Structure 1
Amino acid sequence: MKKIINDPANVAREALQGLGEAHADLLTVHFDPNFVTRAGGPDTGKVAVVSGGGSGHEPLAGGYVGEGILHAAVPGAVFTSPTPDQILDATKAADAGAGVVHLVLNYTGDILNFETAAELAEAEDIKVVPVILDDDVAVKDSTYTAGRRGVAGAIPWYKITGASAARGDDLDTVVEISRRVVANVRTMGMALTACTVPHSGEPSFVLEDDEMEIGIGVHGEPGRERVKLTSADEIVATLLGSVVEDLPFERGDKTLLFVNGMGGTPSVELYLAYHSARTYLAERGIEVARSLVGNYFTSLEMQGMSITLLKLDDELTELWDAPVHTPALRWGR
C-alpha cells in the first residue's frame, strides 16, 4: 500500500483538520463527534440541509458545505456510516427553526443511523424530513444496500436541494424538489482498478490488466459483470444505455450530463468520455443543457468513472444555476 498518510486509523480525522484549515472562510470542522458546518452558522429562518456518509469519497460530503448547498455534513470513518450522535449534533448545529432535510444515500448503515438521529432530533422539537437517493441503475441489491445504491447523482441532488432552501422555500417545498431530483436522476459506473482502504492495506478486489468491472459500487462492491477492457465509446454506450433505458430518457428531453471520476482517473480521460457521452445522447435526440465533469464523488484512488443523467425542467435548471460557494463547487458570484 502506497498512500500519503500517517496512522491509518487517523486518516479521516487528519483530513478533516486539513479541510477546516484550508477553507476556514467557508466552513467550520467540529470534533468529538466529527461534523462540518457553514462558517457563518445557521441560515436564520431557512430550511437546513444536512447529509453525510463514509469518508474516502472526497470532496463528498464536507466539500459541499457552504453557500447554496449543504448547511452541514457528517463524515464517518473511511467507507463507514456516520454515527447517530454525529448526525444529531450536525442537525442541531444546522437547524435555523424552519426544519431540517436529511439527504441520505441508500446504504443500510446510513439509513439506520440517520433514522435514529432524526428521532432524537424530533425529541428536541426539531422537525426532520429524510429524502433517500437511489440513483444507481447497475444492481438492485448490493453488499451495503437493500435496493439501489445512492451514488454520484448526489451532486446535482445536493446542489438543487440546497438552492431551494437558499431561496427561502418552506420545508414541504424543499422536500418536494429534492424528491423530484431523485425521481429524475440515474447513474451507472465502472472501474479499471480497485481502491485500498487505509486500515485494510489490501485492494478491495482484483482486476486483471485487460479487465474492467461494469456497474461497480463506490465502495468496491461488485457490479453487473466483469468484462474485457474496450474503447471509451463502447464503455460509454454500455453505461449510458442502461441509464437512458431506465427512466427512460426520451428524444427532446433536456438533461444535465455529469461524468464523474472515481479518484484515480485523469481529466483527459473524463473529458474524452464526456465527448463520447454527448455524441451518444445527440444521436438519440437528448439535449445536454448543463454539464459537470471531474472527480466529485470518489472512491479513494480507484480508476474508473460514472455517468449521471438528470432530466431537467425549468425550475431544476434555475436551481442548478443558482449561486454556490463551497470548497468543491463555485459559480454565480
Structure 2
Amino acid sequence: MTKIFGDPSSFVDDAMAGFTDLYSQYVQPVPHGVVRSTATPEGKVAVVVGGGSGHYPAFAGYVGPGLADGAVCGNVFASPSTRWVYDVAKAANRGGGVVLGFGNYAGDILNFGLAAERLRAEGIPAELIVVTDDVASEGQGANGERRGIAGDVVAFKIAGAAAEAGYDFDGVVRAARHANELTRSMGIAFAGCTLPGETEPLFTVTEGHMGVGLGIHGEPGISEEPIGSPEEIAELLVQRVLDGKPAGAPDTGRITVLVNGLGSTKYEELFLLYAPIAQRLRAAGYQIVAPQVGELVTSLDMAGASLTVTWLDEELERLWTAPAQCPAMSVGPVIETTPAPVYEAPEDEVADYSGTPEAAAAAGQKVAALIETVRDALKDAEAELGRIDAIAGDGDHGTGMVNGSVAAAAAARAAADAGAG
C-alpha cells in the first residue's frame, strides 16, 4: 500500500512540488502540471501529454528536450479537467499548434477533446493522440478501441522527436498516430494497487496466480492463471502481443521492445523477464532496436509487468532513437539548451458582486451552505464510492467526487462571502 502520503487530497500537488524541485533542469511548475524549463523556438509544435497521476514516470517524467513540452497531472487515476488541460496547453504553446497525447480512457477523451475544441476556437491548432495499444482490451476500451497502457511512451517519444526535428503540425500528428497504430502491449499483475490513504487494494489476485490483461488502474483482465516460470510468462506475453500484430506492420523485421514494471516489481525481475522475451522475439525473426526495461508507466504500488512491441519502419526508428533528455529517459547525445522564462500564471478575473440585492445575497449564503453539506456527505462516502467503482473501474470515484466537491464548496463560499446572489 501507499505509505507516504500526508493529506491524501493533496497527494499529487505535494508530490509534484518535490518532483519539480528535483528536476528543475527539465521542468517548471504550472497550475496542475509542468512545462519545460528549457527554451523552445517560436513556431515549434508543442507536445502536451497527460492523464491521471499515480503512473510515474508517466506523465511529467517525459517532459524535456526531445520529448514532451508539457504534462497535465490529474488526480490519482482521474482524468485532469478540461480547464487543467487547456491551461497547461496554453502555457506550452509556442505558436505551432498543440498535440495532446493520452491513453484511451473515457474521461481523458472527454476532457482533452473539449480542451482541444477550446484551443481551436482561439485559433490554436490542436489534435488528439489517443493511445490504443492494449491487446487484452480489444474492442472494450473507450470508443470501442483498445485501452492505452505502456504504449504511451512510444507515441509520446515519436511525437516529441518529430516536433523537435521541426516537423509541421500535421507531420507530428501523422507520425505519432502511425507509431500508435504499430504498437501493441499486454500486461499481467500479481497484486493490486492501493490509493493513497486507503488500506485495501483496488483489486486482489488469487494467491499464486497472476491476472492477465489487467489495465493500469486495475480494470478487469481477461483471466487468472498460475504464476509460471520467467520463460512461461515470457511465452504468454510474446505470443499475445505477436498475435495482435497490426495488419499494416512493416516487413523490416525491426522492432523496439519495452518491458515495463507496474510499480513494485523489482528491476532485477524485469531484467530476468527481458532475457526470455528477447530470445523468443529474435527466434521469431525480429531484430530489437533500442529496447527499454524499467518502470515506464506504473500504477502506484501494483505488482506486475507489461510487454510492448512497436514494429518500426525507417522513419519511426529514426524518431525513436533521436536524442531526448527528460527525468525518465535519456537517449543519445545531450541536446544543448538555454533556460526558458519562468512561467507566470495569468491573474484570474475578479468578479464584481456589488449591487446584489440583500435577499439574493442571503440566498447565496444558503446555496453555499448547501454545497458544503454535499461536500461533507461525499467525504463521508469517499471509501464506499471508491469500493463500488473498483468493482467495474479504477476505484477513483470517491477521490474524484471529494476533490470536486471540496473545490466547488470553496468557490461557492468565496463567492457568497463576496456578495454573490
Equivalent residue for 2:128, pick from 118, 127, 130 = 130
Does the 8 Å contact 2:234/2:276 carry over to 1? yes
Residue in structure 2 matched with residue 282 of structure 1 by the alignment: 282
1:140-199 residue CA offsets vs partner (Å, 9 max, x unmatched):
355877431001011121111100000101011111111110110000000011110114
1:231-287 residue CA offsets vs partner (Å, 9 max, x unmatched):
111111111111111125798610001100001011111011110101111221122
Quick one: which amino acid aligns to residue 211 of structure 1? H
Say if 1:274 and 1:187 are closer, same or farther in 2 by CA, change over 3 A: same
Deviation at 1:82, TM superposition (A): 0.5
Distance, in Å, in 2 between the alignment partners of 1:325 and 1:220 is 30
Distance, in Å, in 2 between the alignment partners of 1:203 and 1:142 is 23
Quick one: which amino acid aligns to residue 175 of structure 1? V
Does the 8 Å contact 1:48/1:70 carry over to 2? yes
Does the 8 Å contact 1:133/1:149 carry over to 2? yes
Query: What SS is found at the alignment partner of 1:217?
Result: coil
Residue in structure 2 matched with residue 221 of structure 1 by the alignment: 219
Distance, in Å, in 2 between the alignment partners of 1:186 and 1:44 is 35
Equivalent residue for 1:164, pick from 137, 162, 165 = 162
Distance, in Å, in 2 between the alignment partners of 1:252 and 1:313 is 7
Say if 1:123 and 1:277 are closer, same or farther in 2 by CA, change over 3 A: same
Distance, in Å, in 1 between the alignment partners of 2:285 and 2:250 is 8
Q: Gaps spanning 5+ residues in structure 2: where?
A: 335-421
Query: What SS is found at the alignment partner of 2:258?
Result: strand
Distance, in Å, in 2 between the alignment partners of 1:204 and 1:69 is 32
Residue in structure 1 matched with residue 302 of structure 2 by the alignment: 302
Q: Gaps spanning 5+ residues in structure 1: where?
A: none
Say if 1:252 and 1:55 are closer, same or farther in 2 by CA, change over 3 A: same
Residue in structure 2 matched with residue 202 of structure 1 by the alignment: 200
Say if 1:196 and 1:214 are closer, same or farther in 2 by CA, change over 3 A: same
Does the 8 Å contact 1:42/1:93 carry over to 2? no
Query: What SS is found at the alignment partner of 1:186?
Result: strand
Does the 8 Å contact 1:142/1:222 carry over to 2? no
Deviation at 1:321, TM superposition (A): 1.5
Q: Based on CA coordinates, which of the two structures has the bigger radius of gyration? A: 2
Residue in structure 1 matched with residue 267 of structure 2 by the alignment: 267
RMSD: 1.6
Q: Give yes or no for the alignment of 1:6 onto 2:18.
A: no
Does the 8 Å contact 1:133/1:182 carry over to 2? yes
Quick one: which amino acid aligns to residue 59 of structure 2? A
Quick one: which amino acid aligns to residue 329 of structure 1? M
Distance, in Å, in 2 between the alignment partners of 1:82 and 1:300 is 17
Query: What SS is found at the alignment partner of 2:276?
Result: helix
Residue in structure 2 matched with residue 72 of structure 1 by the alignment: 70
Distance, in Å, in 2 between the alignment partners of 1:250 and 1:226 is 33
Does the 8 Å contact 2:2/2:196 carry over to 1? no
Quick one: which amino acid aligns to residue 200 of structure 2? E
Quick one: which amino acid aligns to residue 256 of structure 2? L
Structure 1 or 2: larger helix share? 2
Aligned pairs (5 A) from 1:68-217: 68-140=66-138, 146-217=144-215
Distance, in Å, in 1 between the alignment partners of 2:288 and 2:168 is 30
Q: Give yes or no for the alignment of 1:313 onto 2:313.
A: yes
Deviation at 1:114, TM superposition (A): 0.4
Does the 8 Å contact 1:12/1:78 carry over to 2? yes
1:306-326 residue CA offsets vs partner (Å, 9 max, x unmatched):
000001112211111111111
Does the 8 Å contact 2:237/2:307 carry over to 1? yes
Does the 8 Å contact 2:104/2:141 carry over to 1? no
Does the 8 Å contact 2:257/2:308 carry over to 1? yes
What is the number of equivalent residue pairs in this alignment? 331
Say if 1:242 and 1:251 are closer, same or farther in 2 by CA, change over 3 A: farther
Quick one: which amino acid aligns to residue 267 of structure 2? S
Range with greater deviation from structure 2 (282-291 or 128-137): 282-291
Q: TM-score, normalised by structure 2?
A: 0.76
Equivalent residue for 1:60, pick from 42, 46, 58 = 58
Distance, in Å, in 1 between the alignment partners of 2:263 and 2:208 is 20
Does the 8 Å contact 2:157/2:320 carry over to 1? yes
Quick one: which amino acid aligns to residue 168 of structure 1? G
Distance, in Å, in 1 between the alignment partners of 2:141 and 2:177 is 25
Does the 8 Å contact 1:108/1:146 carry over to 2? no
Residue in structure 1 matched with residue 390 of structure 2 by the alignment: none
Q: Give yes or no for the alignment of 1:256 onto 2:251.
A: no
Query: What SS is found at the alignment partner of 1:132?
Result: strand
Residue in structure 2 matched with residue 331 of structure 1 by the alignment: 331
Q: TM-score, normalised by structure 1?
A: 0.95
Range with greater deviation from structure 2 (205-214 or 105-114): 205-214
Equivalent residue for 2:49, pick from 48, 51, 60 = 51
Structure 1 or 2: larger strand share? 1
Distance, in Å, in 2 between the alignment partners of 1:301 and 1:104 is 21
Distance, in Å, in 2 between the alignment partners of 1:184 and 1:104 is 16
Range with greater deviation from structure 2 (209-218 or 245-254): 245-254
Deviation at 1:42, TM superposition (A): 4.8
Quick one: which amino acid aligns to residue 146 of structure 2? R
Quick one: which amino acid aligns to residue 322 of structure 2? A
Deviation at 1:290, TM superposition (A): 2.2
Deviation at 1:289, TM superposition (A): 2.1
Query: What SS is found at the alignment partner of 2:289?
Result: strand
